[in-house]
Structure 1
Amino acid sequence: TALSTAFGQAVLDRAVLDALCRATGTSVYAAFQRNLVGLAHTAIAPDLGDWDWNAWLAMLAPASRIDARHTVGMLDDLEGDAVDAGGLPMSLPAVVKRYGHRCFKIKLGGDPVTDLARLDNVLRVLDSLQPGHRFSLDGNEQYADPAALRALCEGLRHLPALARRPDALLYIEQPVPRDASLAPALASLDPPAPLLLDEADGTLDAFPAGRAHGWRGVSSKACKGLYKAVINRARCDRWNSEQPAAGRYFMSAEDLTCQAGLAVQQDLALAALLGLTHAERNGHHYVDGFGEAPETEQSAFAAAHPDLYELEAGRPRLAIRDGRIELGSLDRPGFAHHADPDFDSLRPLGDAASMVPA
């Protein structure tokens, strides 16, 4: 698929960028701000042919911290303070109590009646636990029926919790299947919050094409391509400057199970570079800390990035304090890391098939 192809290229791009930063003794932030990466007019983004890359990149101002947006799944427990054997939270109240999240991402299932009823319950819990919270909705391509999507949008406008604070809903992520993202009907949908491309963002021209069909946002994921993300960020600035009175174009940072170490650090650094203020983080819900990585590797990353990890239950885990992740230690020579994986412990790529159950 287009996304899997992009992932292969993204891995190579990240490695080359890391080598460039190490060779020049610069952080990834400085490498972009000084345009050491060589961004210029390119045929792959003809709409930015006259864009002043040097001036624009020089204005990027990465933050030293970012809000962590917690993913609320369809089956997540909305009550109680349950934790697992390792002390990690299992219910929504336990998560908020443990991490202090103020930003959330709520999953949808494709049935407007069921989704609206559950959303009403989720917002009731969040209004009680964290007044003033903000959230996004993720349709995960489940709304293939245009009538169902219209019913969802209409129901959202009448949801009591949302009616009281309509600005709490940030955007609706990829409600329709990726292959239906350019359907003419979307342009007249009039959703209660802007639509954001995610799974449909498989090529460099996906965002401009989506713009013509009513999409106003696109996600950033390091696995989809860091240069694509930077190009799309420039597009947002250009389009917003051309029509400041209309609905603004924007980017978000979404997760794909980024695990502790290089994956989460480089993904967070990209989000910070783009000026994003919050990022979905879900990798720490699927993998405890560094998972099966050697203890020497875990200790090296924890020592090199003490603001990003904290020792808990005898192992380093991603540190989310008061809903935020500190990123200061990522601003150093190299692509957002001052420790390396234990490469000798990694399994050769040719053995990958044996790791997947038949």
Structure 2
Amino acid sequence: MAEAPLLKVKDASIFERRFTMRMPFRFGAATVTEAAQIFLSLDVEDAQGRIATGYSAELMVPKWFDKNPALSNADNEQQLRRSVHLAVALSKEAPASTAFGLHAGLEPQHHAQAASEGLNGLIASFGLALVDRASLDALCRLHALPLVDVIRSNLPAIDLSTTPDLDGFDVAGFLKQVIPHKTLYLRHTVGYIDPLTPQEINGPRRDDGLPECLREEIETYGIQYFKLKVSGRPQEDTERLKDIAAVLDRLPGYKATLDGNEQFADEAAVIDLMDRIEKEPALARLRQSLLFVEQPIIRTMALSQPVKTLAKRVALEIDESDGTKDAFLEAREQGYLGVSSKSCKGFYRSFLNKMRVEKWNAETGGGYFMSAEDLTTQAGIAVQQDLALASLLNLGHIERNGHHYVDGMQGASASEDAAWLSAHGDLYRDHQGRARLTMQNGQLSLDTILAAKGLGAAQAAAQATFQTLQEKENAA
């Protein structure tokens, strides 16, 4: 391993950008029509006095991190905003350390401080994840290297200090063998109220040049992977899945996952749904194409209730339950085989959990897995950092829905759009000056993401975003 540099966080800037969704997004019990994205820049100095700025961004999605119905969407946003500010303040107080050392030192402090303010582990993870990514981005820029080279040489100094259960695992060997995927299949999210065919579109069409129903998504992008939201009501879910299958079964082949978003009370309720699916002839192909079921059971019960009977029939994964560094360990004890990777939960958490998958599969003969899921990541820094992570982890396909529910880089300046289109022309197309995500045959190109000297985003493009944010704040 090359000598890992010590880094000191010197300064930080935080901005936000609000936007409205082009169509409502229904998941679990929530329907989201607007949200805000938070942006972080960190100035980081190494031992030689060199300074680089790193960037990160993430959507502050309401009703996912904390689903307490007594809290408003504004309350949820404030929880996430507070987590970021807490993490940034702690990072500025922290002594010089390696990039991973900064993470390892901050994690217990940040989670404890967040908990003292009533913020759960998932919310705490959100703030720390933004600091981790910005500091890692700065590390890449200090050395003028793309992310893959930084990870292969372990410049962040990733170790097992936070995961003693991995004792003996060859971290250096694992990282040296990282070979990123140059493309990823997009797994399209089908929200619970999304129209499936043109005939189901309510009201006048938007006619904004983007697909407005599932069939149009498939025809436009050539999508072959799908994530289907279910409601926790087995009879209604079965009927909804029959309608979806009528569209998907027109394809020569496809793969699907189900996402319960914590809407099922217990294992028995999910078994009820699986029974109905397997008894329904119209769902035979969908059942054959089903890869796994994501977080069906509410997080307060998921890590304490066995699901081993259900797990014999279909692979199960945690998502919302993954609020701490050891959640996957607890989930494994209950019968879960999978864990989601999301940048909003932590870059290093994903890598360490992938090491667990490798270790457990080597010990048991297989079955454990990781998948790449979405937080409605927005075009630009957020989506590209998440794609870079999934590429390095070789996850093959990734849930994406930000391009569907939001029209490109909403709120960006003309110069900002132009900078992203220029730097990452394989990932975006120009629609009347606005950068929109694009793909070919259902696949996203990652060539410019992997080539960027940073965590997935070209410096000129990231700087253009922060210049726009600063100008708008100055004008306010």
Query: Structure 1 length as normaliser, TM-score?
Result: 0.92
Indicate the residue corresponding to 1:8 in structure 2: 127
Q: State the secondary structure of the residue aligned to 1:258.
A: coil
Pairing 1:68–2:68 present: no
Cα offset, 1:346, TM superposition: 2.2
Distance 1:119 1:249 in 2: 26
2:447 is equivalent to residue 328 of structure 1: yes
Counterpart CA distance in 2 for 1:23 and 1:145 is 49
Shift of 1:99: 0.9
Matches within 5 A, 1:247-266: 248-266=367-385
Contact 1:86 1:313 in 2 (8 A): no
* Corresponding residue for residue 333 of structure 2: 212
Partner Cα separation in structure 2 for residue 31 and residue 155 of structure 1: 48
Distance in 1, Cα, partners of 2:263 & 2:180: 34
Question: How far apart, in 2, do the equivalents of 1:21 and 1:145 lie?
Answer: 44
Distance in 2 between the 1:249 and 1:154 partners?
Answer: 24
Deviation of 1:190 after TM superposition, in Å, equals 3.8
Distance (Å, rounded) in 2 between the aligned partners of 1:157 and 1:313: 47
Q: CA deviation at 1:187?
A: 2.6
Partner of 1:297: 416
Contact 2:260 2:294 in 1 (8 A): yes
Q: 1:233 aligns with which of 351, 354, 358?
A: 354
Q: CA deviation at 1:166?
A: 4.3
Between the aligned partners of 1:142 and 1:229, the Cα distance in structure 2 is 24
4+ residue runs over 3 A deviation:
161-167
Residue 86 (structure 2) pairs with residue 86 (structure 1): no
Q: Is residue 125 of structure 1 aligned with residue 247 of structure 2?
A: yes
Superposed CA deviations along residues 81-134 of structure 1, whole A, max 9, x for unmatched, are 766231111111111111110000000011000001111121121011x22110
Q: 2:308 aligns with which of 167, 184, 187?
A: 187
Quote the residue 2:465 is aligned against.
Answer: 342
In the other structure, the counterpart of 1:96 is 218
The 8 Å contact of residues 257 and 282 in structure 1, kept in 2 or not, is answered as yes
Tell me the equivalent position of 2:271: 150
Instruction: Give the 3-state SS of the residue equivalent to 1:212 in structure 2.
Output: helix
3-state SS in 2 of match to 1:200 = coil
**Contact preservation (8 Å) 1:162, 1:169:** no
| SS of match in other structure, 1:66 | strand
Q: How many residues align?
A: 346
Compared with structure 1, are the counterparts of its residues 77 and 164 closer, same or farther at alpha carbon in structure 2 (3 Å cutoff)?
closer
Which runs of 5 or more structure 1 residues have no equivalent in the other structure? Answer: none
More strand, by proportion: 2
Q: Aligned partners of 1:165, 1:99: CA distance in 2, in Å?
A: 20
Q: Which residue of 1 aligns with 2:175?
A: 57
C-alpha contact (below 8 Å) 2:198/2:212 kept by paired residues: no
Q: Which residue of 2 aligns with 1:26?
A: 145
Query: Which residue of structure 1 lines up, in the alignment, with residue 390 of structure 2?
Result: 271
Q: How many Å apart are 1:191 and its aligned residue? A: 5.5
Task: Say whether the 8 Å CA contact 1:63–1:273 is kept in structure 2.
Answer: yes
Give the residue type in structure 2 aligned to 1:337: A
- For 2:171 and 2:138, the matched residues in 1 are separated by 22
Maintained 8 Å contact 2:408/2:436: yes
Task: Using the aligned pairs only, state the percent identity.
Answer: 43
Distance 1:189 1:347 in 2: 51
TM-superposed CA distance for 1:211, in Å, is: 0.5
The answer to whether 1:202 aligns with 2:323 is yes
Alpha-carbon displacement from aligned partner over 1:133-173 (angstroms, at most 9, x marks no partner): 10000001000144322211222222325434644101000
Give the Cα–Cα distance (whole angstroms) in 1 for the partners of residues 408 and 285 of structure 2: 38
Answer yes or no: is the 8 Å Cα contact 1:162–1:168 preserved in 2.
no
Report if aligned partners of 2:190, 2:226 keep a CA contact under 8 Å in 1: yes
Q: Secondary structure at the match of 2:123?
A: helix
Distance 1:292 1:36, change over 3 A: same
Give, as a single letter, the amino acid of the residue that structure 2 aligns with 1:98.
T
**Partner Cα separation in structure 1 for residue 281 and residue 129 of structure 2:** 42
Deviates more, 1:223-232 or 1:191-200: 191-200
Measure the CA separation in 2 of the matches of 1:321 and 1:329.
15
Residue of structure 1 equivalent to 2:66: none
Given that residues 218 and 250 in structure 1 are in contact (C-alpha distance below 8 angstroms), is that contact kept between their aligned partners in structure 2?
A: yes
TM-score w.r.t. the length of structure 2 is 0.70
Question: How many angstroms apart in 1 are the aligned matches of 2:179 and 2:138?
Answer: 22
Q: Are the counterparts in 1 of residues 187 and 225 from structure 2 also a CA contact under 8 Å? A: yes
Return the alpha-carbon distance in structure 2 between the equivalents of residues 199 and 262 of structure 1: 23
1:272 alignment partner, SS class = helix
* Structure 1 range deviating more: 183-192 or 94-103: 183-192
SS of the residue corresponding to residue 198 of structure 2 reads: coil
Any idea what SS the aligned residue of 1:280 has?
strand
1:35 to partner: Cα distance:
1.0
Name which structure has the greater RCO, CA cutoff 8 Å, separation 6+.
Answer: 1
Post-superposition shift, 1:189?
Answer: 2.6
* CA RMSD, 1 decimal: 1.9
Q: Deviations over 1:222-276 (max 9, x none)?
A: 11000000000010000000011xx511111111011010000000000001001
Cα–Cα, structure 1 residues 61 and 162, in superposed 2: closer, same or farther, change >3 Å? farther
CA shift digits 1:4-54 (9 cap, x unpaired): 110100111111111111111211111111111101231x20111211111
